[in-house]
């Protein structure tokens, strides 16, 4: 069996997250003279040459070696009698050597064959190519075992390159053999020998991080025993269980960190109570030209409750594309303003800040809310005035880019921060905003539906509101993955629809390494289409190299229907709300992730006409094929997000660095979800009983949490 999150198997190659010996912070936990700090070089059978090889695996000390876990196990304990053999499954058979044979094939390869037989005369043959090693050591009449995956060949079972063991005194030695991530020149046997020596020397020095109560409740072995069992299990289940202990431990440390942070924020900070009276509610609802959907209402109710408390709201608002989260955020902003507090809405980019500004201007057309837009393109003098007004409390509502607002805006009376993260995530960012001034309430919006497993980990310290429903009458977009031969037909379709007054996007991917190339591609495409198939239409080009005001101009033209077709390379900046745009074509669709594709096509589902999205891609990998099939089949963003995470692995799905918590070393959020939930429940209980982790039984856990997450999560609360 193979484990999903393994250095060898699915290596992301990024930093080691787990606080093993040698990692920063380990010194908190390990006594100065610990054997864990010793170099592997002095282990029996290692020496300088092998130490260099181990260094390539990031193993320098005994502690690091102990946490270099097997990638998989070969279970040789499954001993079968020869009439119970099953094809293709690793198993072991025992018998007497009855035939030893070596010959050369016509192509020059040497093939060796050894046949063993049981007392009933059933036989299994082992074959080896280009190695006579075993054969020379074996002799007729000897009892041996073969371990391997049998195949039925003509009239008998054979195993290719089985593992052979000579059976002494009638007892076969049946083992579970750990298989390690290796590097060239380092043999499995060497590593196993070194591991055994390291375990003997240093395993007892590894501190026990798990509180006794949790460990016993979950029936995990103590750390020393668990290490032995991970490396040299007696049975496969024992090895797997011991390994789960370490995954659980890793999750527990993460979840305790999140629980501590959550409590820290809630218990130590006081936020203004922002209450929503029936008058305020009625007043706000009058601003919408529509009725909120049931999902929106539920989100609003949760927010209203949070805001009325003097503990800062910490809420994540996630919604499928176009499901109306901005509308909900506006409600929250206005509650703050109605309570005579300032509120801010921050967007990740200039264009999105603009977009929000326009949206909110629509809602607030007849309101007296004093509001300001803060972006890079606001002239310095005007910005200075705005900043002064904000400081003096003369502005209620500020909309702007995250960078600008964080840079140095002082608020007279800040009550609520809304962050539109779009596809960007980050605990760090949230930590930074928190320090803006007083303790505001806090709403994070995300346009990428987040699988529950991520919500529990990356956003484990936030409450979550989810909008799945689309506004009434809204059509899901029809998505088709098209063969290149269909291109002309799709162009025709665009022409027909644009003649009727509809608008369209053509999106080209942007790959950072070859930004220039892509730019050329998009520009060329623009020229070709503008002067070719679409010469009777007004075509615009939007790409990342344009200056902000040029971008804004193009967007405005498109929104005001001065353009029929927009060719765009810039994914996030396509975050536009143009209900009249109903057509989209995506070039090289295989270069986009599932969530991105879903975001993109969300741009043509804004109105009440069913959007159409055509994907073009010369697909080379099976994974890409699966992705495109999934996007064409499924319109539910949440289902897609799960699918995406499954296809790519969570690390990729989020971009390891984006979520800001670093890689998990042993655990895999999707695969080990049961452990994640378990660890979360235990963490909440632990922190509920001992918020500062001051009890003696929590000392080691506290050290581990601080070492791993103290900085990232700003855990002053337990520092």
Residues within the interface to ligand ADP (CB under 6 A): 290-293, 296, 319, 321-327, 471, 577, 606
- Residue 699 phi/psi, 5° resolution? -60, -50
d(CA 317, CA 397): 20
Nearer to ligand ADP, 322 or 509 (CB): 322
Q: Is 192 helix (H, G, I), strand (E, B) or coil?
A: helix
Region near Mg ion per CB under 5 A, out of 207-215, 271-279, 324-332, 479-487: 324-332
Please choose, out of 271-279, 282-290, 325-333, 631-639, the segment that lies near Mg ion by the rule CB under 5 A. Answer: 325-333
Residue nearest ligand ADP, CB atom distance = 324
Name the binder of 293 from ligand ADP, Mg ion, none, CB < 5-8 A by kind.
Answer: ligand ADP
Give first-to-last CA distance, the chain, whole Å. Answer: 41
| Least distance CB 327 / ligand ADP (angstroms) | 4
Residues 6+ apart with CB under 8 A from 382: none
Are 11 and 57 a contacting pair, CB within 8 Å?
no
Tokens of 623: 């994974």
Q: How far is the CB of 326 from Mg ion (least distance, A)?
A: 4
Taking the complex as a whole, the smallest distance from the CB of residue 489 to Mg ion amounts, in Å, to: 32
In the complex, minimum distance from the CB of residue 583 to ligand ADP, in angstroms, rounded to a whole number: 18
Q: Which of ligand ADP, Mg ion, none does 542 bind, CB closer than 5 to 8 A by kind?
A: none
Q: How far is the CB of 469 from ligand ADP (least distance, A)?
A: 9
Query: CB under 5 to 8 A by kind: which of Mg ion, ligand ADP, none does 324 bind?
Result: ligand ADP
Residue 146's Cα: distance from chain center in Å? 42
Taking the C-alpha atoms of residue 86 and residue 74, their distance in angstroms, rounded to an integer, is: 16
Q: What is the DSSP letter of 611?
A: P
Cα angle value 395/401/406 (rounded, 5°): 75
CB nearer to Mg ion: give 345 or 414: 345
Among residues 676, 590, 661, the alpha carbon closest in space to that of 626 is found at 590
**Closer to ligand ADP by Cβ: residue 56 or 362:** 362
Residue 319's binding partner, choosing from ligand ADP, Mg ion, none, with beta-carbon cut-off 5 to 8 A by kind?
ligand ADP
State the minimum distance, in angstroms, from the CB of residue 719 to ligand ADP.
Answer: 37
CB under 5 to 8 A by kind: which of ligand ADP, Mg ion, none does 296 bind?
ligand ADP
Q: Shortest Cβ distance from residue 322 to ligand ADP (Å)?
A: 5
- Scanning the structure block, which residue is given the tokens 């049946």? 174
Are the C-beta atoms of 444 and 317 separated by less than 8 Å?
Answer: yes
Q: How far is the CB of 359 from Mg ion (least distance, A)?
A: 7
Partner touching 665 among ligand ADP, Mg ion, none, CB below 5 to 8 Å by kind: none
Count of residues that bind Mg ion according to CB under 5 A:
1
Query: CB 444 → ligand ADP: shortest distance, Å?
Result: 13
- As measured in angstroms, the least distance from the Cβ of 645 to ligand ADP is 21
Q: How far apart are CA 114 and CA 107, in angstroms?
A: 21
Q: Which is nearer to ligand ADP, 319 or 631 (CB)?
A: 319
Dihedral-angle region of residue 714 (phi above 0 means left; psi in -120 to 50 means alpha; beta otherwise): left
Which strand (E) or helix (H) includes residue 651? Answer: helix 650-654
Q: How far is the CB of 323 from ligand ADP (least distance, A)?
A: 5
d(CA 688, CA 691): 6
- 342 lies in the binding site for Mg ion (CB under 5 A): no
Query: Helix, strand, or coil here: 360?
Result: helix
In the bound state with ligand ADP, the residue whose beta carbon lies nearer, of 469 and 482, is 469
> Smaller CB distance to ligand ADP: residue 491 or 638?
638
DSSP character string of 481-536: EE-GGGHHHHHHHHHHHHHTT-EEEEE----GGGHHHHHHHHHHHHHHHHHTTTTT
Which CB, 96 or 297, lies closer to Mg ion? 297
Segment lying near Mg ion (by CB under 5 A), choices 303-311, 326-334, 370-378, 436-444: 326-334
Q: Can you spell out the DSSP letters for 30-79?
A: S-TT-GGGSBGGGSTTTHHHHHHHHHHTT--BHHHHHT---SEEEE---E
| Smallest separation, CB 356 to Mg ion (Å) | 7
225 membership: H or E segment, kind and range: helix 223-231
CA-angle at 185, arms to 179 and 187, nearest 5° = 30
User: Which of Mg ion, ligand ADP, none has residue 322 at its interface (CB below 5 to 8 Å by kind)?
Assistant: ligand ADP
Cβ atoms of 115 and 124 within 8 Å: the answer is yes
Closest distance of CB 445 from ligand ADP, Å: 7
Binding partner of 20, given ligand ADP, Mg ion, none, CB within 5-8 angstroms per partner class: none
Angle between helices 673-689 and 236-268 (to 10 degrees): 40
Q: Whose Cβ is closer to ligand ADP: residue 577's or residue 685's?
A: 577
Sign of CA dihedral 24, 30, 32, 36: negative
Q: Is 568 exposed, middle or buried (0-12, 13-18, 19+ CB in 10 A)?
A: buried
Which of residues 254 and 345 has its CB atom nearest to ligand ADP in the complex?
A: 345
Distance, CA of 502 to CA of 276 (rounded, Å):
41
Spatial CA neighbour of 441 closest among 349, 295, 327, 304:
304
Place of tokens 């090895």: 239
In the complex, what is the shortest distance from the CB of residue 641 to ligand ADP, in angstroms, rounded to a whole number? 15
SS3 424: coil
- Compare residues 7 and 575 and give the one whose CB is closer to Mg ion: 575
User: Near Mg ion by CB under 5 A, which window of 12-20, 318-326, 602-610, 678-686?
Assistant: 318-326
Residue number with CB closer to ligand ADP (114 or 327): 327
Structure token digits, residue 619: 């697909």
Interface with Mg ion, residue 326, by CB under 5 A: yes
Pick the closer one to ligand ADP by CB: 363 or 616. Answer: 363
- Return the residue nearest Mg ion (CB atom): 326
> Should residue 599 be labelled a site residue for Mg ion when binding is judged by CB under 5 A?
no
Residue placing its CB nearer to Mg ion in the complex, 361 or 394: 361
Q: Residues interacting with Mg ion, by CB under 5 A?
A: 326
């Amino acid at each position: 069996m193979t484990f999903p999150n393994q250095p060898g198997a699915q290596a992301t190659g990024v930093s080691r997250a787990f606080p093993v010996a040698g990692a920063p912070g380990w010194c908190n936990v390990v006594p100065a003279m610990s054997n864990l700090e010793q170099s592997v070089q002095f282990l029996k059978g290692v020496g300088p040459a092998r130490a260099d090889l181990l260094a390539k695996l990031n193993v320098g000390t005994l502690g690091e070696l102990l946490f270099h876990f097997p990638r998989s196990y070969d279970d040789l304990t499954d001993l079968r009698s020869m009439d119970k053999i099953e094809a293709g499954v690793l198993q072991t058979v025992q018998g007497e050597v009855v035939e030893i044979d070596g010959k050369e094939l016509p192509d020059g390869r040497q093939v060796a064959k050894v046949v063993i037989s049981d007392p009933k005369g059933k036989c299994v043959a082992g074959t080896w190519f280009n190695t006579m090693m075993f054969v020379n050591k074996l002799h007729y009449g000897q009892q041996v075992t073969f371990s391997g995956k049998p195949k039925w060949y003509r009239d008998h079972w054979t195993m290719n390159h089985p593992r052979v063991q000579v059976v002494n005194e009638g007892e076969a030695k049946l083992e579970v053999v750990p298989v390690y991530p290796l590097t060239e020149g380092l043999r499995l046997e060497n590593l196993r020998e070194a591991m055994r020596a390291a375990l003997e020397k240093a395993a007892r020095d590894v501190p026990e991080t798990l509180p006794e109560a949790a460990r016993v409740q979950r029936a995990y072995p103590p750390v020393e025993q668990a290490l032995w069992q991970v490396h040299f299990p007696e049975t496969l289940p024992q090895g797997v269980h011991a390994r789960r202990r370490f995954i659980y431990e890793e999750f527990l440390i993460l979840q305790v960190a999140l629980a501590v942070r959550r409590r820290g924020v809630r218990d130590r900070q006081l936020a203004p109570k922002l209450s929503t009276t029936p008058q305020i509610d009625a007043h706000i609802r009058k601003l919408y030209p529509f009725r909120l959907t049931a999902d929106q209402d539920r989100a609003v109710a949760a927010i209203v409750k949070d805001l009325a408390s003097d503990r800062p709201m910490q809420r994540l608002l996630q919604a499928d594309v176009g499901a109306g989260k901005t509308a909900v955020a506006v409600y929250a902003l206005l509650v703050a303003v109605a309570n005579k507090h300032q509120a801010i809405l921050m967007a990740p980019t200039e264009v999105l800040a603009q977009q929000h500004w326009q949206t909110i201007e629509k809602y607030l057309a007849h309101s007296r809310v004093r509001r300001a837009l803060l972006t890079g393109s606001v002239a310095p003098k005007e910005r200075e005035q705005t900043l002064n007004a904000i400081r003096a409390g003369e502005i209620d509502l500020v909309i702007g880019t995250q960078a600008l607002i964080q840079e140095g805006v002082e608020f007279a009376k800040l009550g609520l921060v809304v962050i539109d993260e779009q596809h960007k995530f980050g605990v760090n960012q949230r930590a930074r905003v928190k320090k803006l001034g007083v303790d505001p309430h806090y709403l994070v919006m995300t346009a990428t539906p987040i699988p529950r497993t991520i919500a529990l980990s990356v956003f484990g310290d936030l409450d979550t509101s989810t909008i799945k429903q689309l506004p009434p009458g809204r059509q899901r977009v029809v998505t088709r993955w098209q063969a290149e031969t269909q291109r002309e037909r799709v162009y025709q379709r665009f022409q027909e629809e644009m003649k009727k007054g509809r608008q369209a996007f053509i999106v080209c991917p942007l790959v950072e390494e070859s930004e220039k190339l892509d730019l050329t591609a998009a520009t060329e495409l623009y020229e070709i289409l503008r002067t070719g198939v679409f010469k009777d239409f007004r075509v615009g080009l939007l790409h990342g190299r344009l200056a902000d005001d040029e971008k804004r101009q193009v967007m405005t033209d498109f929104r005001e229907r001065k353009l029929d077709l927009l060719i765009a390379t810039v994914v996030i900046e396509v975050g536009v709300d143009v209900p009249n745009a109903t057509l989209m074509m995506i070039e090289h669709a295989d270069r986009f992730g599932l969530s991105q594709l879903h975001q993109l096509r969300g741009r043509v589902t804004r109105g009440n006409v069913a959007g159409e999205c055509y994907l073009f891609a010369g697909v080379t990998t099976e994974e890409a094929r699966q992705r495109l099939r999934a996007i064409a089949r499924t319109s539910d963003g949440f289902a897609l997000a799960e699918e995406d995470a499954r296809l790519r692995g969570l690390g990729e799905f989020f971009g390891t660095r984006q979520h800001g918590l670093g890689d998990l070393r042993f655990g895999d959020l999707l695969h080990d979800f049961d452990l994640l939930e378990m660890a979360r429940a235990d963490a909440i209980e632990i922190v509920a009983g001992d918020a500062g982790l001051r009890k003696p039984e929590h000392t080691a856990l506290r050290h581990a949490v601080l070492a791993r997450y103290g900085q990232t999560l700003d855990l002053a609360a337990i520092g």
